[in-house]
Chain A
């Protein structure tokens, strides 16, 4: 995608699209490869966490729900199902596997926040990444934050 096309696109829209579905912000910004990568990884992580918790770990009354809502769209879709399953099933609240599954879902949400901000920066400061890459190649750095 050219800078000309990207400059007409709203960074805030990229932020919102990225919250509605992981990777959508990057697709809007023209980075389709990264969009697919983020969509697969973040949604996959959320789904894996949901499965590890047997569908009972996306509950609005738990404080984990705050980071989980970072992956807004998929979390919002799965939450009613999780509430239903939490009532219907016998939940082992102390299960370590369920806890790790909950951690998976929370990390998926937090990673999506990072990805949303990356999409925002791509459109708000279009030249910055290219300059950083050039500086990195010139200095031979690894680019760690």
Chain B
């Protein structure tokens, strides 16, 4: 189990993993979406950062949950 989790996280941080390409996409989505909600640059920047971190952690948690389900069932 631990070895499988280790494999999961190692594959995530591997430079060859194309999943890294989702981060620039998420950053653009965050900035564009929050720029439609706020007018001041500081508010846009803070809200975008909050959105980026929240969604990144959420997607990581989802990925981990699905990975665990795939090895348990």
A and B associate in one complex: yes
Q: How many residues of A contact B (CB 8 A)?
A: 26
Q: A97-B21, A103-B25, A142-B47 are in contact. Are A129 and B39 (CB under 8 A)?
A: yes
- 8 Å CB contact of B21 from A37, A100, A114: A100
Chain B: minimal CB distance from A141 (Å): 11
- 8 Å CB contact of A142 from B25, B28, B39, B50: B50
Q: Which of B5-35 contact A (CB under 8 A)?
A: 18, 21-22, 24-25, 28-29, 31-33, 35
Q: How many residues of B contact A (CB 8 A)?
A: 19
Chain B: minimal CB distance from A78 (Å): 18
Closest 5 A/B residue pairs (Cβ) = A118-B36, A96-B18, A100-B21, A111-B32, A45-B28
Q: Does A14 contact B (CB under 8 A)?
A: no
Interface SS majority for chain B: helix
Complex: how many Å from CA A37 to CA B32?
8
Q: Which of A45-98 contact B (CB under 8 A)?
A: 45, 48, 52, 96-97
Chain B: minimal CB distance from A14 (Å): 13
Complex: how many Å from CA A142 to CA B21?
28
In the complex, chain B residues whose CB is within 8 Å of the CB of A97: 18, 21
- 8 Å CB contact of A115 from B21, B32, B50: B32
Q: A96-B18, A142-B50, A143-B47 are in contact. Are A37 and B31 (CB under 8 A)?
A: yes
Complex: how many Å from CA A97 to CA B18?
6
Complex: how many Å from CA A143 to CA B36?
11
A 9-42 binary contact with B (CB < 8 Å = 1; else 0): 0000000000000000000000001100110011
- 8 Å CB contact of A145 from B31, B37, B41, B43: B37
- 8 Å CB contact of A104 from B25, B31, B35, B38: B25
Q: A96-B18, A143-B47 are in contact. Are A115 and B36 (CB under 8 A)?
A: yes
Complex: how many Å from CA A45 to CA B30?
13
Complex: how many Å from CA A45 to CA B24?
9
